[in-house]
Structure 1
Amino acid sequence: MSAVNENSIDKSWEELLDQLQTLVGKRPADLNAVLFLIGVQELGTGPRRFSKEAKQDLMHIAVCRVLSSDGYYTFDGLDKDGWPQWTLAKPIPHGDLLAQENFLKKQVIQYFESLLV
């Protein structure tokens, strides 16, 4: 990824965090916090208290959902408890931690952009 792309992602990411702060009243601390918000949105049951395990599951749902737009995951439907189920459709690109974080941030930005269309 070029520096220009990384700068573009960083700028778009900061703008997204600002928008989320306006929407939810608190600026998400990091990528995990944004993934948690997406997971809650995708679960569709509204805000409530979640166990640590459920929070991890919500972040997994978010990762699957944001990566599904580029065909990495396919949606299988809901389980008996109403939680979305996903299947890995193609390998996720490997990279160092920063590259993976930027890849996910790009997918998250695209997810929110698709909601505004």
Structure 2
Amino acid sequence: MSEESQYWRRIENFFQQKFTQGEKPDLDSMIFLIGVQELGQGNRRFKKDEKVNLMHVAVCRLLEPFDYYRFSGRDQDGWPHFDKIQDLPILKPNEQTLLMRKAIIHYFKEQNYLEE
């Protein structure tokens, strides 16, 4: 098993233990929870449009190190905003999944969420 695959398993275990009550987390759930983390307003109920916005915040934040987005600041309600630097390449669904997994791994390492 590659180092990346091992690290991904550790991330899945992290989400399983903390958020999904033992169920294997799906990618969308992980992205949503990263959005909540990036918003920084703690655990609260979110409206439907806020949930969509949280997913967008997470995707922008996750793809920022890959030079697709740049953080531009927070609005008066504390929501982070990003400027698009370049368009994402056209990717097949499995390629999109691999890119997001790679981005989540990078995020977890950058944030030092898992001890080595």
TM-score interval for Structure 1 and Structure 2 normalised by the shorter chain: 0.7 to 0.9
Counterpart position of 1:69 = 65
Aligned pairs, number: 112
Q: 2:16–2:25: 8 Å Cα contact kept in structure 1?
A: no
**Mapping of 1:1-20 within 5 angstroms?**
10-20=5-15
Aligned-partner Cα distance in 1 for 2:39–2:47: 15
Over aligned residue pairs, what C-alpha RMSD do you find?
2.1
C-alpha displacement of 1:10: 4.9
User: Structure 1 residues 95, 8: CA separation in 2 closer, same or farther (over 3 Å shift)?
Assistant: farther
Task: Name the CA distance, whole Å, in 2 between partners of 1:107 and 1:51.
Answer: 26
Q: Structure 1: which amino acid aligns with 2:40? A: G
Number of the residue aligned with 1:87: 83
Matched-pair contact (CA < 8 Å) for 2:72–2:83: yes
Q: What fraction of aligned residue pairs are identical, expressed as a percent?
A: 38
Q: Which amino acid aligns with 1:114?
A: E
CA contact (8 A) 2:73 2:81 kept: yes
**Distance across 2 between alignment mates of 1:29 and 1:116:** 20
Paired with 2:24 and 2:36, the residues of 1 have a C-alpha distance of 14
Structure 2: gaps spanning 5 or more residues: none
What is aligned with 2:102? 106
